[in-house]
Amino acid sequence: MLSAMARVNVELKARDPTPESTLARCLALGAADQGVLAQRDTYFPARRGRLKLREADEAPELIAYRRPDSPDPAESTYVLAPVSEPHALADALDAALGTVVVVSKRRRLLLWQGVRIHLDEVEGLGSFVELEAVLPDAGDLAEAQAKLARMRAELGIDNGALVSVGYADLLMDGPQALRRAADAAMRNAYAPYSRFKVGAAVRGNSGAIYAGANVENAAYPQGQCAEASALGALVAAGESAITAVAVVAEKLEVCPPCGGCRQRLAEFGGPETAVYLGRPGGTATELTLGELLPGSFGREALRE
């Protein structure tokens, strides 16, 4: 959980094919133009949610946040920490954790009734509009959602333009990021008996990636599959749902989960949850949990 000092907002993001028209519509609604900001966000691995260092025209900040991957308006919880020496902090975090990806953008900021309107030009991705209704400035949760709905209608944002993930995920390519995490975990697998190393990675609802490897035991039934290890890390971080899975093996191009792990994954995902099989850099086999485990037994069967 984030601290009690965490802030909350409701967000929506979409691709913007007509930035000039969007700006004109925002100004016509009475939004106050705050000018253009240059921002550079460096993302680092995080055990829970996401962690980024923002270097910008305004004061630099370290930002820890959690937001579900969803195209619909969703609540985001975040903590801001002012930074006095961003370059030194970036070097320290990179040395300790490694850098995931860097997002550079030019942001036109407008303010309207407690809603921050971001007209973004993102390097390597293009033009986007992002709406953030900050609580309590935008009112309570219902008021914030109503304001986003009105702004979306005024700007003509249709369903096809909505984006469910952040810029970092778009730049990284979600499946590749999962496969890389699974591959890295696989290299640390403890498999002295079978010599069959497996790695798995799951993406939580917050967008964070949790990876695990198979752990064998001389008493064979006590061993643990990679998928179980990854799910254990997810639960330990306080999450209870997955949006995607990747599995890789050292000796196979494609290594599907065993039957038991399919059931384990189904406990935290749904039939539509994406599954990526295959090593990073190669061609992935893409399917869903529903295809892996048709007719699965779930919690709904236990309801009276």
> Which residues are catalytically annotated?
227
Angle between helices 226-236 and 259-268 (to 10 degrees): 20
| DSSP-assigned letter for residue 256 | P
Residue 12: CB partners within 8 Å, gap ≥ 6?
A: 72, 73, 74, 130, 131, 148, 152, 157, 162
**Of 267, 280, 46, 303, the residue nearest 166 (C-alpha):** 46
- Candidates 116, 125, 89; CA nearest to 16 is 125
Torsion of CA 267, 179, 162, 148, to 10 degrees: 60
Structure tokens at 72: 């619909």
Q: Beta-carbon neighbour count of residue 143 at 10 Å?
A: 16
In three-state secondary structure terms, 69 is coil
Contacts of 235 (CB under 8 A, 6+ apart): none
How far apart are alpha carbons 257 and 263 in whole angstroms? 10
- Take residue 2 and report the two structure tokens written for it: 């984030």
- Cα separations in angstroms, 203 against 53, 175, 210, 273: 21, 10, 6, 10
Q: What is the rounded distance in angstroms from the CA atom of residue 54 to the CA atom of residue 65?
A: 13
